[in-house]
Amino acid sequence: MHKRRLGRTDLLVTQICLGSMTWGQQNTEAEGHAQMDLAFSRGVNFIDTAELYPIPPKAETQGRTEKIIGSWMKAKGNRDKVILASKVVGRTANSWFRGDRPSQLVRADIFDAIDKSLAKLGTDYLDLYQIHWPERDIPWGANPTRVGAVARRADSVGAPVGETPIAETLAVFDDLVKAGKIRHFGLSNESSWGVMRFLAEADKGIGPRVASIQNAYNLVNRTFEVNLAEVCEREGVSLLAYSPLAQGYLTGKYDHGARPQGSRSQLFNRGQRYETPNAAEAQLEYNELARSFGLEPALFANAYVSSRSFVTSNIIGATTIFQLEMALSSVDVVWTEEMQKAVDAVHQRVGNPCP
């Protein structure tokens, strides 16, 4: 399992990061522990979680995932062997995170979030703490292929109202670093403009430099390549790619409209990002392309993501040990020039149907 440097930090993270958002909803504590056991036995050293998890977000389940990771580290006594990342929610009207109020990226809310996460995880620090999504009014994922009119909150001179300034938010993360609660700072679901603004404030000495960005990246969503790839390469910001299998649509199990019993799409009806016009046709074409190379679609899709030079770590997720085994074995796939040319030929025709 290869390791790659996280941004400009001293952390070396494995090319596979173990995602955790199913633990506490689709997966039990014991199943979460089994997944961590298997991943770390294969050389993985990196776990990503969030105060939001498990998915789908609900007041009655929120925080279970961090507790499952915490109980595993306590049982193994291996906190020093784990590079641990979590996230604070962006602006949200849901009051269950803070207990009695909506949440914003302000000092009181960020400190409340980190202290709760550390308690659930049973640790006194995080290696990486990320903003789960921006506070700004922007499309989810921050890299749409089209942008419509956005009803911005603004005062009489056009300044954002109720939007915490980036400098103010970043200063809070600086305090978290100084307090020893976090080692490094990252973003998620962020745009090129957002990354550059955070970097500009850090260059002024306001707070920690952005080490990483966690955005969706997969065969049906390559929007990261348009601007963010250059930003991150030149600025030394690592991409932690999430949803490499497009929420399972690049495994082949949903081909031809199938909805297997117990699958995420069948259970939760949360796959709208991957059910856009022409998405099913594009997904099927990539899945059939994988089979033409003699590979399971899930192997092919994960191997593609890990092969990109601008991807530092591929965040995999699974609900079964079989799925996890396949995701882990994707690092053994040799990504060839022929595969890349074939993928690019499809992308030239279908574009990014699922941004």
Cite the active site residues. 53
How far is 209 from 335, CA to CA, in rounded Å?
33
CA distance 47 to 225: 25
Dihedral angle sign, alpha carbons of residues 236, 237, 240, 242: negative
* Cα–Cα distance for residue pair 193/205, rounded to 1 Å: 19
Instruction: For the beta carbon of residue 173, count every other beta carbon within 10 angstroms.
Output: 27
Residue type, 242: Y
CB 136 within 8 A of CB 163: yes
Sequential DSSP letters for 297-327 = HHHHHHHHHHH-TTEEEEEE--SSHHHHHHH
Task: Using alpha carbons, list the distances in angstroms from residue 24 to 18, 58, 62, 223.
Answer: 15, 11, 9, 31
The reply to whether omega before 134 is within 30° of 0 (cis) is: no
